[in-house]
Structure 1
Amino acid sequence: MTSTLQDQCVLVTGAGRGLGAAIAAAFVREGASVAINYRNSADAALALAGQLGARALPVQADVTDPDAVEAMIATVEERFGAPTTIIHNALADYSFNGDARTHLDTLAWEHIARQGETAVGGALNMIRVMRPRWEVAGGGRLITIGTNLVQNPVVPYHDYTAAKSALLALTRTAAKELGPLGVTVNMVSGGLLRTTDASAATPEEVFDIVAAQTPLGQVTTPAEMADAVLFFASPWSRAVTGQNLIVDGGLVFG
């Protein structure tokens, strides 16, 4: 699949607010039809769809529920046709506050499992529902959202980072298996974003410290990261799969 962005039907999980909303807006800006998935943020998702217009469709589903994912895709198909591109951005409830994070002495497997259920389980559910559709279409795109904390755990958010690391592994193994179907699978990993609901608890001085450490001298915005996601959905990335693009102003190299 090498269709232009204007020809695509894109589903963004966890798109009612924050980074997901910025990604949805970026695709609509480029002419794509976009399904705005949300779990609980109905008011935000409906408001965003109202702002983005007729090419945006809010659709509720918990991505950890395979039946809900199947029903969501069917709803999108009724409005726009089969999705070509999936952006898996959904995040289990989390607050990036280093002072309030769970430390190893109180960390339980349940904390990691809760994050993994959405990050990895949600991605798996999307793949299982979309695989036959991609096969019929002759290709597609899956883009997962990761974190530069895997490469540089400057703040040890153990549960969140472990789940995103597992998602990176699934991204690469899925790229291997889905490649023969013409599906590319890549990850875009951000750092601290200025500002989302999840990063709202981050002290202002932390933003300043991060900005000072980046070559660009600033903290990445959701809109800037969303633009990087566009690349992996575009025809220009048709020969790229199994990759992880870190978008953090150069804080992490490699």
Structure 2
Amino acid sequence: MSLTDQLALITGSSRGLGLAIAKALHAEGCAVIINYLQPTSAPAATAAATSLSTIAIRADVTDPSQVQSLFTAAQSHFHRPITILVNNALGTFKFNGPARKTLDTITWTDFESQLRTTLQGALNTTKCALPHFRSAGHGRIINIGTNLVQNPVVPYQDYTAAKGALLAFTHTTAAELGPENITCNMVAGGLLRITDASAETPDEIFEQIANVTPLRRVVTPEELAGAVVFFAGLLGRACTGQQVVVDGGLVMT
């Protein structure tokens, strides 16, 4: 399923799931753009960009002006429009199991923080991507969600609420942009083994989830990336407004 001649932006892609997605798209012939936020991530982003023969661009997806500069820099470098957008960037968050904030301790500020990156970030990147998609005559938006919306096996309140909002945004975006040959879908992951966000997940949580999952294991970032490639490519051209859950069968829809 070749993606030759396509250009993809993956937000938050200097490591972890984002980098796995960038590598999977690149393996199918797609040119990719590595995006990162923290200055401390610059070495990893540069290394990733070098390995994928591309560029790494620092930008905060919550800042519209920085997102516009990101798209401008990509256009200047590649001299062609971005045709695939993967909204993967995650605000600071740790899947720390019993150490999470509960309803007794969580605040609206915690919700705002997650909504800012997840929902506002996706809005900013989508708006900047539209001229690129229209120039190309097509576009693919893939938003990264979570199976916790359907099955909050661990009730991470703020993170799950933000991803639930992103699922609604996926549906409305698909409905609005479909007539322009622009699709918008979501790939929802379960607990992944292992990313920075899940590094503090206790082993017993991994074991608990694996034991009730039909495949009897926790999936990897590389496995989730396969579903992103499907939605990005020709085989997924008639799919829009859809959510695929990649979690080994824990959630069945």
**Band of TM-score, shorter chain:** over 0.9
The residue that corresponds to 1:82 in the other structure is 81
The residue that corresponds to 2:67 in the other structure is 69
What is the letter of the counterpart of residue 33 of structure 1? A
The residue that corresponds to 2:118 in the other structure is 119
The residue that corresponds to 1:169 in the other structure is 168
**Preserved CA contact (<8 Å) 2:189 2:224:** yes
Output the CA distance in 2 between the equivalents of 1:208 and 1:49.
34
Q: Over residues 56-97 of structure 1, what are the superposed CA-to-partner deviations in whole Å (9 max), with x where a residue is unaligned?
A: 221110000001011001111112221100000000010001
State how 1:138-217 maps to structure 2 within 5 Å: 138-217=137-216
Tell me, yes or no, if structure 1 residue 221 matches structure 2 residue 238. Answer: no
Q: State the shift of 1:4 in Å.
A: 4.3
Quick one: which of 6, 9, 15 aligns to 2:7?
A: 9
What is the letter of the counterpart of residue 36 of structure 1? I
Output the CA distance in 1 between the equivalents of 2:126 and 2:203.
38
State the TM-score, normalizing by the size of structure 2.
0.96
Task: Between 69-78 and 126-135, report the one with greater CA deviation.
Answer: 126-135
Output the CA distance in 2 between the equivalents of 1:6 and 1:74.
21
**Preserved CA contact (<8 Å) 2:81 2:135:** no
Output the CA distance in 1 between the equivalents of 2:74 and 2:14.
16
The residue that corresponds to 1:104 in the other structure is 103
The residue that corresponds to 1:38 in the other structure is 36
SS of the aligned residue for 1:149 comes to: helix
What is the letter of the counterpart of residue 189 of structure 2? G
State how 1:39-58 maps to structure 2 within 5 Å: 39-40=37-38, 41-52=41-52, 54=53, 56-58=54-56
Output the CA distance in 2 between the equivalents of 1:128 and 1:176.
15
Output the CA distance in 1 between the equivalents of 2:122 and 2:245.
19
Q: Over residues 111-138 of structure 1, what are the superposed CA-to-partner deviations in whole Å (9 max), with x where a residue is unaligned?
A: 1111000000001001111112212221
Runs of at least 4 residues of structure 1 off by over 4 A?
none
Output the CA distance in 1 between the equivalents of 2:100 and 2:205.
15
Q: State the shift of 1:224 in Å.
A: 0.5
Identity, % of aligned positions: 53
Output the CA distance in 1 between the equivalents of 2:135 and 2:7.
15
**Which consecutive residues of structure 2, in runs of 5 or more, have no partner in the other structure?**
none
Alignment length (residue pairs): 250
SS of the aligned residue for 1:91 comes to: coil
SS of the aligned residue for 2:77 comes to: helix
**Preserved CA contact (<8 Å) 2:4 2:29:** yes
**Preserved CA contact (<8 Å) 2:2 2:29:** no
What is the letter of the counterpart of residue 43 of structure 2? D
Q: State the shift of 1:107 in Å.
A: 1.5
Q: State the shift of 1:142 in Å.
A: 0.3
Q: State the shift of 1:151 in Å.
A: 0.2
